[in-house]
Structure 1
Amino acid sequence: MPSTVHLAVDIAEGLARESKRTGRTHGEVVITAIEDVHADLEKLLFPGGKIGGGLFRARGVGSKPLERKAEKKGVTVGLYSDDWVIIDQLKDEFKARSRSHLIGTALKAHLGTEDTTRTESD
C-alpha cells in the first residue's frame, strides 16, 4: 500500500540513490533503515533530549515552532499495510511528530545524509 512521505530534499535524493544502487524499492530501503537504527531512534529523533509526550506534544529540547523549515519533497513509499501499522506504532512509541519525521530521521542516520537545516516536520 503506497503512501507519500515528505522528506528533506537531500534525504529524498539519498533514498533515490540508495534504491537505484541496491535495486531495492523505496519501501525496502525504509524498512532496512528503520531496522538498522531502531535501538537509537529516540536519541536520533530528539538529539538534545525531549520534553512533553504526555499531556503536551513531544518536542526536542530547544526546538522552536517557527524555525525555518527545510525544503521538502513528497516521496512515494510502497509498503504492506501491516508495515504501515508498525511504522505508526513506532511513531507513537518514540513520539515522532509524523511518519515523515520517523522515516526521514531513520534514513538520514542509515544513509549518512547530512541535512543541515533543523526542521519542524508536519
Structure 2
Amino acid sequence: MSNTTGRIAENRRARYDYQIEETLEVGLILQGSEVKSLRSGKASIVESYAAEEKGSLVLINANIPVYPAARENHEPKRMRSLLLKAKERDKYLNMIRREGYTLVPLSLYFNKLGIAKLSLGLAKGGKT
C-alpha cells in the first residue's frame, strides 16, 4: 500500500495529440481488487477514453491489472462508470453528441482523502 495519495497514471500523449479546452475531475466506480491494484501503482490510461453508455459516462479501455493477492478479481479492461453531477453529465454528453468533442483521460490519482479520481480533458479534434 505504497501509494495512498498522488498520481497513479498519466496520459502525456493526450495533451500532445489533442487540443484540451477544459478539464474536469470525476470519480470512478471501482471494485475492491481494482483499488488494491491502483494503490500498488499499476494502471494505464494511455489508450482509454470516456464515452456515453445508456445515458451516463463510462471509461473505456483503461487497464487496471489483476491484483494477485485478491480472492475474487476483476476484468482488467472492463467499462467503469464515471461519477459526476447530473448537470455536468448532461453538459458533456451534449458536447460529445452534437459538437464533436471527445473526453480524454489526462491523469488518474488519489485525492487527499484517498479517493480515486480521474482528470478528463474536453478535446476538440487533433492539433494542427
Smaller-chain TM-score bracket = under 0.3
Q: TM-score, normalised by structure 2?
A: 0.25
Q: TM-score, normalised by structure 1?
A: 0.26
Return the structure number with greater helix share: 1
Larger relative contact order (Cα-Cα within 8 Å, sequence gap ≥ 6): 1
Return the structure number with greater strand share: 2
